Structure 1
Amino acid sequence: MNSSIAVTPHHPPVDPNRAITADHNKQYPRQVWWFVASFITLVSLFQFASWTLSKLSTGRASGKKQEEDTEAGESPGARSFSWRRIPLALVNAYRVVAFRCTLQFGQSYTLNFAEVFVTCAYIVAIFTWEFVNTTTLSGHRLDISYWGGRAGAIGASQFPLITVLGTKNNVLAYITGISHDKIAHLVRASYGEWFIRIGLTALVAFSVLILVSLRPIRAQVYETFYFTHFLTVFILLLGAYFHANEKHVGSYIWPCFLIWGLDRALRLARLVYYNHLYFGFSSSTAHRLDASVELLSPHFVRLHIQRPPHFTWTPGQTAFLTMPGVSGIPLESHPFTIASVDARYQLNGVKTPRTADMDKTMSEAGADATPFWKELVFLINVREGFTKRLAQIAEKGEKVKVLVDGPYGFSPNLDNDDTVVLVAGGSGVSFTLSTFLGVLSHVQDRKSKCRRLVFVWSIRDASHIEWVSKTLTKALELAPSDIEISIRIFVTSGNAAPTLAQTQDRSFNEDDSVHSSSDGTAIGKSRPSSLLNFSAVQVSQGRPDLRALLREEVDANTGRLSVTGTSYHVWLTRDRADVSFGTEDPDVCYTEWRT
């Protein structure tokens, strides 16, 4: 009789820690997303509340302004204490700490406290969810089996957020009111098996991306950054997907390709929509969008583009320009601030009584200044690569084909400010000039309660005044009568008030000197003194003392004062410290500062 013995297969004991880690790896990335979504929702609610209060305040102010202006001889009264001002003082105190106080990192990066706080809070949140509950059942703390896989899962879960922040058509920008260029630092800050090797490849691509995204490198070799950025991001996303998918978290990565593709599709659609005349069958209509280029100096170019149909923008916004005949590749695009405003901001009133000299000035300035209210005008700083080739075309007097994509970014809301100070250096006047024209238009239309508008511009050479002199001349002539205007121009080298002969005799090889072209399209044909006929214009020698200038404005005026500006980064660092001079004064509101 045969007997059989049943053999039970031996199963290795199941580690109870694995079930816990698997659950944590699944739940914690979702919790991080709930945290991020809650923060975005909170910012959006504050943004909506701020926008609503701004509109309500502007409406009330416009109703009172005309009545107050009829009181002749009234001088600003002394500032008295009022309990009702405490909430506003607390809000402005927060603005002082959050936006005026800054930290400098090296020579290239300056972040305000709000940016530092958000960045640090995000990093702390990521590490908190990564290392919380990492003690094994046996009591071993910070066990790598608990946090190793979780770190990868949390990191993979943040790829969609990083991708959204890196796109130009950023839905979060419209929700929170923070444009893509304001949060770019969050994007930059943010062996064996095959999936490990491909993960290392993605890590190398990410390291290269961080390197070329550093501001000094990006500013000097933008075209290299442009191509390297595209290639390394593609390698990073592709490698991250295959690496994460091996651990079943690839679902966090593949949506990034959809986000990126949607952004590119939207940009392409806008490009075709705004530039459809180029894609038509009539060559005569296609030439309407060709841009004229003027070489203002060896280092600056002015670009005029007839406004494409349906293209509108607000002061201070940017546009991406694609120039197939200038770019290294046909679809290469570069961002520039629009120095002009569209026809909605046309000035209609007359502020200053005309004299014989003023009639001559206006007849000369009228036609040349008109494009700043109807066309797209850009002031471009000439460097290497793309801008250098554009300057060479300008020197020849040729036109270029330009495809416009935009607008991008947001305009600063200055409607509730009694005194508006605009500060710029060099080509940064593109931002402040359009903002200057926008404020005047809003005052004219009773949309702003601004009573005093101060325009501060620092330039290397007095001949640079001619870049915008005709536009400022026309703006001063047509500005509303119920706003006080002060234009302060500071010349850091050379003569502060050159004559016509001095302007035209300058050598083209001088740094940033005027170039007189044979066809008369450059600014050498006009007189710098035309703008100086207005008492509101003052030209001084040396750098502006912003601390003294702002203190003077605070002491001379009552109500809310805002400072909005742009400059080169080195000057920006010093100026932000100057703007922070009066932290004890609740009526000084830092608004916007762009690089």
Structure 2
Amino acid sequence: MPSPTLTDVLNVVPSKIVAAAAKTPDPDRTRRVALAHNNPIRAWYCVAAFIALIALFRFLALAYRTIRPRSPKALRPRGAISFYRLPSALTNSFRALAFRTMVPIGSSYAINVTEVFLTAAYATLIYTWSLAHTTSLKGVKYDPKYFANMAGNVASAQLSLVAALGTKNNIISFLTGVSFEKLNYLHRMIARVLCVLIWVHAAGRLKLKLKAGSSLEHPWVRCGILASTSLTLLCILSIRPLRNRNYEVFLVIHFLAVFITLLAGFFHARGNLREYYIWPAFIIWGLDRAIRVVRIVIYNAGLFKKNSTQQLGRVDVLSPHFVRITVARPPLMHWAPGQSAYLTVPSASASPFEAHPFTISTIDVPQILPATNAEKDAESRNGSSSNLTFLVRVRSGFTKRLLDAATKEQSMKVILDGPYSSPPRLKGFQTVVLIAVLTKFALKGGSGVAFTLPLLLDSIHRAKINKSDSTRVIFIWAVRDARHVEWISDALLPAITDAPSNIHLDIRVNVTAPVADDQSWDDDTTEGDEEVKVEGGSAGAKAVKYPGITIEQGRPDLRRFVDDEIAQSSGAISFNVCGTPSLANSVRSALRSPRFLDVLRGGPTVTLHVESYGSDKVFRASHSDGKDPTGRALIQIADSGENSIILFPGANHSPLHEKTWASRGSDLAFPECSHLLLQNEIHLESTLYALENARNATTIYNPSPMPSSSQIKSFPWDRVDWLIVNEGEAEDLYNALSESHGRRGASPAVSRSHRELLSILSAQPAFATTNIICTLGKDGVLAFIPAFHRPRTAHEAPSFMHFPAATLQGTIRDTTGAGDCFAGYFVQGLMEFGPHARVGREIREHDVAKVLKTCVQVSFIEICLFVLGSFA
């Protein structure tokens, strides 16, 4: 009898055995589900722990400032190293390296080391928890069955963090003390990191095929694609150049894209029972809006009363470029000096939801001087807390509409929302430095002084009630016109007059526009604008002549000022800056040195707070009125490859367009710049105008084509920092300048070596401090830098830098563009060292050598485009 088979024993057929085996549980499934559930939580633990650590440091610092004695310690001069000051030295060094060392991102933007670290750390954290432990039990690394769902869960869980960082009323700002404006960088950065992670999730799902329960037939899958696409488009459109083109349009796009992303993401997550990752973002967003609505209702109660004038504001036109808004203070509103509020003006706003932030230039204390009946009429412009005052820069859009409305009616309804931002706490500093710059060339921003003025008023007030540690306050405001002081004189003059003796005030106003400028930027006769009379006249004149205010011509030398202030101080110093990124970078550069040993010896610790508006950009402006002919240039090329250019003047030799733009009310009359490159292909008057107005800028001049002998003799060579010439131009300059001093230049027949020519040219009084670079064609470049090469005694011979050019094979057909290429790369090389870097200090000899080597190489690459052959 045959033995029984497995089929007989189990009473099943083989096909049923196969079916039973197919239903065996996937051994990876339990592990995948656990990781997909736990890793998003672990990522949040890391983020929450970091926020808690920052909050702990902040509250410990606040507690220390609160309990320590108010009376400043006796200051001692710098002496031997004291390790008692080691914590201060370490803290000061950390601030210098982490917050003042900038890393360029492209050619128009830079972030500090802290932002770089946070970006890298967050991306590493998120991708680690999304891709860690993704090797299956079968040994498949980065198994999409693991990372696909895990990446989606981690990204979804982090959306509430993005929402929190993007709201104005958020708990992260409350805990860390970092204002929502500065958190906005993290808001954008995290959104972009998660956008990439979401596409990692999508790639994993595509790898596994969209079939069965995850096919495109299911609405929740299509919602996921919609959410991913919407977030991707938003990340692209939020790139700074696109965002700045029309910020008001971007706000509408941002709102719609975020709403689509969250709503579609919610339904997508709901398809996997993960909707609890998404709905907290809605709660955070809604809570922020609810808080703002409640605050608006409380602070603007007069809007809900019929015929009420409680919320009527006054808009005073200070100039065609500035207005001042004054609003009665809501009874329950309190703010810190330097905070801002969002304003909605129905008469000028394009929509009921359009609101713009402006700094409150008054302080939340009783009036600085006891008000008399005569003074009550001026309360709208002084430092009293009974009113809120805003200095508003007129640009396009809302501010332009506000100016137009103010010329017709000064009283209009104003809706307040605020206060916002986290201004610096100036308690505990022996010296407080406040720097503001009013520049005419910025994409956005205001006067700068709207931020620094309340800090000054608050410092004076706290000194009066004996609650200030500061013994010295320095207030610097750079303006285009001394009459701008009139805008703040009603608040500034009483404060200076009533300042107590226990605080020393140093008020400086730097006037950056030329004194002889026949058409001031704020001249009210601006073409195209209606005549607007500036109010008050006597107050401004009084402020300019007031003994407590020092009026100086020209831009402040901030680097020298910072160095001198640190050298003569031993207590803590707080630098507070408001202006363009160029100003902020200039101060950061001056404070970048860690000064570790100096602090150990008793030197001051330094903090820096920056309120920067606008962005670092390269601006290009073109103008044509249709009347000027287009110029022509004929380039004649010799057999040697050298060229001669004949110019037929056109629009580039027309009357000065800078003043034409200014007369039309444009802000592009002349850009505020750190480096100015000039060539002699424009009208000489334009070149001289640029040299006169480019205060504190590094100037580079290439006199090609060569000016006439009379123009050379009268040219302001002392304003040129770097002179770029070829050997022929150097000879012409020497001959012309020698004649102007009663000496005749050498005959053209006299042969000089390149070094001899550069030596006698650099000896001319006009070039006593000028750095001269002589391009020698195929012989390379020769440079004379006075800081490094000027002989110290009459017996020494001058030294030079010489960098030979590469040897070219083939015939040189054309050198056109080589000089322009050299000059462009040279300026770019100088800009690497900062906006106001000086030769012999920030720029060393080896730095110049490195830049020149690069310039020689790239200019000869330009020549190679016209050469038959290649480098040897």
TM superposition score normalised by structure 1: 0.87
Following superposition, the deviation at residue 593 of structure 1 comes to 0.7
After superposition, residues 446-465 of structure 1 pair within 5 angstroms as 446-465=466-485
Following superposition, the deviation at residue 488 of structure 1 comes to 2.0
- Hey, what does 1:17 align to over in structure 2? 28
Gap change, CA 1:510 and 1:481, over 3 Å in 2: farther
After superposition, residues 388-427 of structure 1 pair within 5 angstroms as 388-426=400-438, 427=447
Q: Which amino acid aligns with 2:284?
A: I
- Hey, what does 2:356 align to over in structure 1? 334
Gap change, CA 1:288 and 1:525, over 3 Å in 2: farther
- Hey, what does 1:294 align to over in structure 2? 316
Q: Which amino acid aligns with 1:572?
A: A
Q: Does residue 1:202 correspond to 2:192, yes or no?
A: no
- State the distance in 1 between where 2:487 and 2:232 align: 41
- From 311, 320, 324, the equivalent of 2:342 is 320
Where 2:310 maps in the other structure, the secondary structure is: helix
- Hey, what does 1:381 align to over in structure 2? 393
1:181-234 superposed Cα distances (whole Å, 9 cap, x missing partner): 111011111185243432232223223323443344444422112211211111
- Hey, what does 1:101 align to over in structure 2? 101
- State the distance in 1 between where 2:311 and 2:130 align: 54
**Number of residue pairs aligned between Structure 1 and Structure 2:** 558
Following superposition, the deviation at residue 484 of structure 1 comes to 1.0
Query: What is the aligned-residue RMSD (CA, Å)?
Result: 2.9
Gap change, CA 1:139 and 1:164, over 3 Å in 2: same
* Structure with greater proportional helix content: 1
Gap change, CA 1:104 and 1:437, over 3 Å in 2: farther
Q: Which amino acid aligns with 1:430?
A: A
Following superposition, the deviation at residue 24 of structure 1 comes to 0.6
- From 554, 559, 579, the equivalent of 1:547 is 559
Q: Does residue 1:54 correspond to 2:65, yes or no?
A: yes
Contact kept in structure 2, 1:293 and 1:398, CA below 8 Å: yes
Where 1:207 maps in the other structure, the secondary structure is: helix
- From 432, 452, 462, the equivalent of 2:452 is 432
- State the distance in 2 between where 1:80 and 1:516 align: 65
- Hey, what does 1:532 align to over in structure 2? 544
Following superposition, the deviation at residue 415 of structure 1 comes to 0.9
Gap change, CA 1:287 and 1:456, over 3 Å in 2: same
Q: Does residue 1:26 correspond to 2:37, yes or no?
A: yes
Gap change, CA 1:439 and 1:84, over 3 Å in 2: same
- State the distance in 2 between where 1:502 and 1:528 align: 19
- Hey, what does 1:486 align to over in structure 2? 506
Q: Does residue 1:304 correspond to 2:326, yes or no?
A: yes
- Hey, what does 2:525 align to over in structure 1? 508
Q: Which amino acid aligns with 2:64?
A: L
- State the distance in 2 between where 1:402 and 1:531 align: 30
- State the distance in 1 between where 2:236 and 2:581 align: 19
Q: Does residue 1:136 correspond to 2:107, yes or no?
A: no
Following superposition, the deviation at residue 33 of structure 1 comes to 0.9
- State the distance in 2 between where 1:220 and 1:298 align: 23
Q: Mean Cα displacement is larger for which, 191-200 or 309-318? A: 191-200
Q: Which amino acid aligns with 1:207?
A: T
1:393-422 superposed Cα distances (whole Å, 9 cap, x missing partner): 122243221111111122311111101111
- State the distance in 1 between where 2:312 and 2:527 align: 30
Contact kept in structure 2, 1:504 and 1:516, CA below 8 Å: no
Q: Does residue 1:148 correspond to 2:170, yes or no?
A: no
Contact kept in structure 1, 2:313 and 2:325, CA below 8 Å: yes
Contact kept in structure 1, 2:329 and 2:385, CA below 8 Å: no
Following superposition, the deviation at residue 490 of structure 1 comes to 2.0
Gap change, CA 1:335 and 1:316, over 3 Å in 2: same
- State the distance in 2 between where 1:473 and 1:536 align: 9
- Hey, what does 2:120 align to over in structure 1? 120
Contact kept in structure 2, 1:317 and 1:408, CA below 8 Å: yes
Following superposition, the deviation at residue 295 of structure 1 comes to 2.0
Following superposition, the deviation at residue 483 of structure 1 comes to 0.9
After superposition, residues 115-264 of structure 1 pair within 5 angstroms as 115-190=115-190, 193=216, 194-264=219-289
Where 1:311 maps in the other structure, the secondary structure is: coil
Contact kept in structure 2, 1:110 and 1:573, CA below 8 Å: no
- State the distance in 2 between where 1:447 and 1:505 align: 40
Q: Which runs of 5+ in 1 are unaligned?
A: 69-74, 350-361
Contact kept in structure 2, 1:342 and 1:375, CA below 8 Å: no
Contact kept in structure 1, 2:326 and 2:381, CA below 8 Å: no
Contact kept in structure 2, 1:44 and 1:175, CA below 8 Å: yes
Following superposition, the deviation at residue 40 of structure 1 comes to 1.2
- State the distance in 2 between where 1:277 and 1:334 align: 20
- Hey, what does 1:354 align to over in structure 2? none
Where 1:130 maps in the other structure, the secondary structure is: helix
- From 588, 592, 598, the equivalent of 1:576 is 588
Q: Which amino acid aligns with 2:412?
A: V
Where 2:541 maps in the other structure, the secondary structure is: helix
Gap change, CA 1:408 and 1:208, over 3 Å in 2: same
- Hey, what does 1:36 align to over in structure 2? 47
Following superposition, the deviation at residue 125 of structure 1 comes to 0.7
- From 458, 464, 477, the equivalent of 1:444 is 464
- State the distance in 1 between where 2:433 and 2:505 align: 10
Contact kept in structure 1, 2:342 and 2:416, CA below 8 Å: yes
Where 2:44 maps in the other structure, the secondary structure is: helix
- State the distance in 2 between where 1:20 and 1:482 align: 70
Following superposition, the deviation at residue 43 of structure 1 comes to 0.9
Larger Rg: 2
- State the distance in 1 between where 2:454 and 2:264 align: 44
Q: Which amino acid aligns with 2:542?
A: S
Where 2:455 maps in the other structure, the secondary structure is: helix
1:227-263 superposed Cα distances (whole Å, 9 cap, x missing partner): 1121111111112112222233221101111111111
Where 2:313 maps in the other structure, the secondary structure is: strand
Where 2:45 maps in the other structure, the secondary structure is: helix
Q: Which runs of 5+ in 2 are unaligned?
A: 1-7, 191-205, 207-214, 439-446, 613-872
Q: Mean Cα displacement is larger for which, 198-207 or 171-180? A: 198-207
- State the distance in 2 between where 1:472 and 1:93 align: 35
Contact kept in structure 1, 2:322 and 2:391, CA below 8 Å: yes
Contact kept in structure 1, 2:577 and 2:609, CA below 8 Å: yes
Contact kept in structure 1, 2:472 and 2:503, CA below 8 Å: yes
Where 1:201 maps in the other structure, the secondary structure is: helix
Following superposition, the deviation at residue 502 of structure 1 comes to 9.2
Gap change, CA 1:451 and 1:405, over 3 Å in 2: same
- Hey, what does 1:474 align to over in structure 2? 494
Contact kept in structure 2, 1:516 and 1:525, CA below 8 Å: no
Gap change, CA 1:555 and 1:532, over 3 Å in 2: farther
Q: Which amino acid aligns with 2:149?
A: G
Q: Mean Cα displacement is larger for which, 407-416 or 209-218? A: 209-218
- Hey, what does 1:593 align to over in structure 2? 610
Contact kept in structure 1, 2:485 and 2:544, CA below 8 Å: no
Give every structure 1 segment of 4 or more consecutive aligned residues whose post-TM-superposition deviation is greater than 6 Å: 362-366, 501-505
Q: Which amino acid aligns with 2:253?
A: T
Contact kept in structure 2, 1:563 and 1:590, CA below 8 Å: yes
1:511-542 superposed Cα distances (whole Å, 9 cap, x missing partner): 9x9x9745xxx445335331233444222222
Gap change, CA 1:442 and 1:46, over 3 Å in 2: same
Contact kept in structure 2, 1:99 and 1:590, CA below 8 Å: no
- State the distance in 1 between where 2:237 and 2:455 align: 32
Q: Mean Cα displacement is larger for which, 297-306 or 414-423? A: 297-306
